[in-house]
Structure 1
Amino acid sequence: MSKIWPWVKNPWFETVLEAQRRSKAFLPPSVYAALVAGSERGRTPQDNLDAFAELEFAPHVAGHQPERELSTTILGIPVSMPVMISPTGVQAIRPEGEVAVARAAANRGTIMGLSSFASKPVEEVAAANENTFFQMYWTGTRDAMLQRMERARAAGAKALITTTDWSFSIGRDWGSPAIPERMDFAALYKMAPEGVLRPSWTLTWLKAGLPDLTAPNLKPPSGPAPTFFGAYGEWSQTPPPSWEDLEWLREAWGGPFMVKGITRIDDAKRAVDIGADAISVSNHGGNNLDTTPAAIRCLGPIADAVGDQLEVLLDGGVRRGGDVAKALALGARAVMIGRAYLWGLGANGQTGVENVLDLLRMGLDSALIGLGHKSISELSRDDFHIPEGFERVLGDTGEPAPDSAAEKRRTPRKPAAERPVEKTIQ
């Protein structure tokens, strides 16, 4: 077996790309395709990756610092490095799914982002990582959303993320892979041709007792949890939210609040207007409108416009610690990772996710050494060359904000770290 899978004797991998290779070898082709695919042509996920390489470091050759500080805070939560787990739906590429990811993040001193469409309930995930942020889509009735928020709060969620960048795409040029509604014997039988090729994956699920593949965090107060596609159906039939809806969501939650999915300056300013504490510059990993620019191309202009009014994070294409350094230099407080940790989960479960986080930490530290910095707070645009035309300035009208919006910006909310998370919704 070691000749076929040499990493059985050496489970450590030295790059996220190697984790991806091992995931591809472990997972059935259809499951792997669901992780790697973007919408339509798949141009945006590729640009998310390629854009980082266009930013060229300008390292020093002497005067390097013997000690470097990588820690920071995200929405008032101390983290060991400026990297947190981005919420991704249905992490059941292994039976332990989101719980394994949460434990890995806790062991490496960072935050777990949990999706509404996760395969594990918020109670189990928050128990595995006390610093869990719960992500909500605008789906179902307001009463249902209030119930989900209260459930997340009761479980110990420290912040709420509303994802707004998954609304439009309806297909992929190579076809959307089928995902079984339940991981039962019927599903395994249907996937038998793939399962024969991936016996380790099949055995892993058999040992776990074939748990249901549902969306437990969308379970109503009475009745069973919906299947993933049942939950998707509810979301697709819910009218999309307005900015007023998102402001209601922020007020109903009452604690630290992040809007995920910003690529335009005007949208970033609207997030400020509704009282958001943070935004994530993101194109949903390329699973929204294809040919949307890479998130890193949009980051700098957005951070310049609103970075002094809320925390700006980047989500999209991060595979190396050097990518983290570049995002911070362009104004991000931290980055969120998605596919990178999913590759780690597929490659080696919880240990694989810890492996990915270790690689990012080591890569970020190496960047600080080469640039001669002693802290991530010293990173700036002077640390690399930005080619002409690299950045994308989207939605900058140049027009002043309405009086009401301008007033909100002059009187910002108390910082998230100074506000209590607990609040009973009336």
Structure 2
Amino acid sequence: MYWPWKKNPWFETVREAQRRAEKRLPRSVYAALVAGSERGTTPRDNTDAFAELEFAPHVAGHQSPRDLATSVLGIPISLPVLISPTGVQAVHPDGELAVARAAAARGTIMGLSSFASKPVEDVAAANENTFYQLYWTGSKADMVQRMDRARAAGAKALIATLDWSFSIGRDWGSPEIPEKMDVKSMIRLAPEVAVRPHWLLDWAKAGIPDLTAPNLQPPGGAAPTFFGAYYEWMQTPPPSWEDVEWLRKEWGGKFMLKGVTRVDDAKRAVDAGADAISVSNHGGNNLDTTPASIRCLPPIADAVGDQLEVLMDGGIRRGGDVAKALALGARAVMIGRAYLWGLAANGQTGVENVLDLLRMGLDSAVLGLGHASIHELGRADLWIPKGFERPLGAEQEAPTRTKVRRA
């Protein structure tokens, strides 16, 4: 029965999912979803850059039906949108399990973070096409144990994320993630939680589980908290390109390197044996004023797109953004904040809602551009302003210096 005074659980845009997430979540939890490092220039550019690209639609000759399916690392998917791995998901007690089920229901791949709040065994059982993401943290023996565990659970590929350099210098303050959802945390968060009773009720029904990182749990030991895992990462010497090659060999299966923004790094990824890369700036949580991912994509796709699969993540909010990324050389995109807002707004159904919105928007773009398949998208479908691309790390002709005549 329809009750006109009850809000429709369906939302029509990702922006509406974000608005509902902001209304439902405690302030500090919501801040963890929108935060970027320092002044937040990169997260803004990630989204704003898409608006600088303009479509060149046709007036007639449109195609029906349209094919939105593709494959990533040999896995067939119904649309070119993957779930990007994100850390401890305090936005909903079902966390990554709800996301994995939603991705499976919509026929796409689930990316699971090392810092996830749910075990890889449970997530892989919920979505057979799960990719496991590994940070360079701990000893090599620790990493081998984690890869062995993910492989045994059925993970289809490894995503190596090496670009993280978390900054505490944030203009709005660093987001706060509780170590445990216990009484002490509830009391401390009481002023925020009091005005977000639905969020508290969801966690109370789930028995208020701890927010730990179970995929970093050592054999016979306890799972670390998020900040315990973060401390381990801080104490681990950064990896070299030889370490990247070691990771690829130790995994032995399909291997993606996430966080590439430079052409020279993309070429090094090819040399290291990567099967795929994701052009990414870590959602703006890494080094602020790094260009938007979509600006870095075309030069990288031109340089290595015939040697490995090129994906992109950062700033995807609508299906048109997906179409633009594909037109500039991406095989598929990965989403993070968008699905987390959907999860916060309406659990698994909210994540499915976000994926449906992206599918519909992508289909609309393919229709308007006169194509029958996403594989026909190309640069001729866009007006690209001069100076839009950022060919970081590409070989460039040295600038001509103009001599200044002194009086």
TM-score (structure 1 length as normaliser): 0.91
1:110 corresponds in structure 2 to: 108
Query: Residue 203 of structure 2 corresponds to which residue in structure 1?
Result: 205
1:201-280 counterparts in 2 under 5 A? 201-280=199-278
2:362 aligned partner, one-letter code = L
Counterpart of 1:355 in structure 2 is 353
Residues 29 and 90, structure 2, Cα contact 8 Å, conserved in 1:
no
CA-based RMSD of the aligned residues comes to: 1.4
Distance 1:397 1:391 in 2: 14
Which residue is 1:81 aligned to?
A: 79
The separation in 2 between residues aligned to 1:147 and 1:344, in whole angstroms, is 33
Paired AA for residue 179 in structure 2: E
Alignment-mate amino acid for residue 169 of structure 1: S
1:51 pairs with 2:49:
yes
Give the % identical residues.
78
Partner of 1:162: 160
How far the C-alpha of 1:245 sits from its partner, in A, is 0.5
**TM-score, normalising length from structure 2?**
0.96
Contact 2:36 2:285 in 1 (8 A): yes
The 5 A counterparts of 1:280-291 are 280-291=278-289
Q: Which runs of 5+ in 1 are unaligned?
A: 400-426
The aligned runs of 1:321-400 (5 Å cut-off) are 321-397=319-395
Residue matched to 1:320 = 318
* Structure 1 residue 177 displacement after superposition: 2.3
In structure 2, C-alpha distance between the alignment counterparts of 1:69 and 1:271, rounded to whole Å: 31
1:135-182 CA-to-partner distances (Å, cap 9, x unmatched) read 000000111100000000010000000002212533211111221100
Partner of 1:97: 95
Give a deviation string over 1:36-88, Cα, whole Å, max 9, x none: 01000000000000000000001011111121000000000000010000000
Q: Distance in 2 between matches of 1:108 and 1:99?
A: 14
Q: Secondary structure at the match of 2:144?
A: helix
The code of the aligned residue for 1:348 comes to: N
What is the aligned partner in structure 2 of residue 137 from structure 1? 135
Say if 2:263 and 2:303, in contact at 8 Å, map to a contact too: yes
Distance 1:393 1:58 in 2: 24
1:105-140 alpha-carbon deviations (Å, 9 max, x no partner): 000000000000000010110010000000000000
Q: Distance in 1 between matches of 2:347 and 2:302?
A: 38
User: Aligned-pair distance for 1:396?
Assistant: 1.0
The residue that corresponds to 1:301 in the other structure is 299
Report Cα offsets for 1:211-255 as digits up to 9, x if no partner.
Answer: 011000000011110011001000110000000001000000000
Moved over 3 A (4+): none
Say if 1:203 and 1:162 are closer, same or farther in 2 by CA, change over 3 A: same
Counterpart secondary structure, 2:302: helix
Distance 1:134 1:203 in 2: 31
Kept in 1, the 8 Å contact 2:37–2:166? The answer is: no
Q: Deviations over 1:325-380 (max 9, x none)?
A: 00000000000000000010011000000000000000000001100000001000
